[in-house]
Structure 1
């Protein structure tokens, strides 16, 4: 990235103002990116106040890098982000599966027959993405307790 961004503090949730400072963008840009990038879904509490988690701050920094530093369009950044997320997920899954064998008589979920064509594959990908995000949240350890 062109200019250095501040380090992300060890907190569980960040307000939109904090994320704007951490990522070097304005809050209205973050709200716009939520509409354009479906992977970006901050939790909303009272009065529609947004609370971002650590992995979402990292994703916003990745989006910012794609748009501002690498010169992608919104559409191109969306596609590239999807590719990066799938590559990260596949790397994590293959690393996890390298020591495990599939039980005899069971097929991996990806190779089971599609019920409604491609919709089944997309559901599997969405579930896998959500599980990877949950794993990242569970493995996150704050530096100071």
Structure 2
């Protein structure tokens, strides 16, 4: 059994370095997986800098689980993910536990807006 992964912070965009740390893989592995898995397409801005969204971080964790913990090959994991997309009874990600909807954390909203502004103004 591998060490538990850290929780994913509440933010919209993640750099490749942040995703590598959150998912326990190296950056070059993430770049390779982008070539192998069509589901993994981070946004690229400013000199091909990658920005992953929350659902892509979850996808990286799922790919890591299939390859490293369940022993799938890359083609096998690719097929497993494609089957899951076609068959709703086999979710790609396990369903999240239902939670009460808390009010917005305005500090996080502000931080996210500042990050978006920074991305948009550096073009």
TM-score by length of 2: 0.71
Taking the aligned partners of 2:40 and 2:103, their CA distance within structure 1 comes to 22
- Any conservation in 2 of the 1:15–1:51 contact (CA below 8 Å)? yes
The residue aligned with 2:4 is 4
Unaligned ranges ≥5, structure 1: 93-140
Taking the aligned partners of 1:142 and 1:47, their CA distance within structure 2 comes to 37
Unaligned ranges ≥5, structure 2: 92-101, 107-123
1:144 corresponds, among 102, 105, 122, to 105
- Flag the 1:43–1:29 CA change in 2: closer, same or farther, 3 A: same
Taking the aligned partners of 2:90 and 2:79, their CA distance within structure 1 comes to 18
Moved over 3 A (4+): none
- Give me the CA root mean square deviation: 2.3
1:25-81 C-alpha deviation (Å, 9 max, x unpaired): 000000000000011000000010000000000000000000000000000000001
Taking the aligned partners of 1:33 and 1:41, their CA distance within structure 2 comes to 10
The residue aligned with 1:22 is 22
TM-score by length of 1: 0.61
Which protein is richer in helix relative to its size?
1
Which protein is richer in strand relative to its size?
2
- Flag the 1:71–1:91 CA change in 2: closer, same or farther, 3 A: closer
Number of equivalent positions = 96
- Flag the 1:144–1:86 CA change in 2: closer, same or farther, 3 A: farther
Q: Which has the larger radius of gyration?
A: 1
